[in-house]
Amino acid sequence: VIPVPRHWDPGKLIVNEQTFLIKLPKS
């Protein structure tokens, strides 16, 4: 599990978009 900062950049999450979407709650 990768600790994600509060100001995470969606542009950088494109590579692990699916992985982050699963681990990150949709606020």
pLDDT at 14 over 60: no
Confidence of residue 7 (pLDDT cuts 50, 70, 90): low
Segment 9-14 shows an average pLDDT of 61
pLDDT of residue 27: 58
Secondary structure of residue 24 in the 3-state scheme:
coil
Number of domains forming the structure of the chain? 1
pLDDT of residue 17: 63
Domain containing residue 10: 1-26
Can you say whether residue 20 is alpha, beta or left, with left for phi > 0 and alpha for psi between -120 and 50 degrees?
alpha
pLDDT at 19 over 60: yes
More confident residue, 1 or 16: 1
Residue for token pair 């542009």 = 11
Q: Read off the DSSP letter of residue 26.
A: -
Q: What is the pTM of this model?
A: 0.18
Count the helices and strands in the chain (H runs, E runs): 1, 0
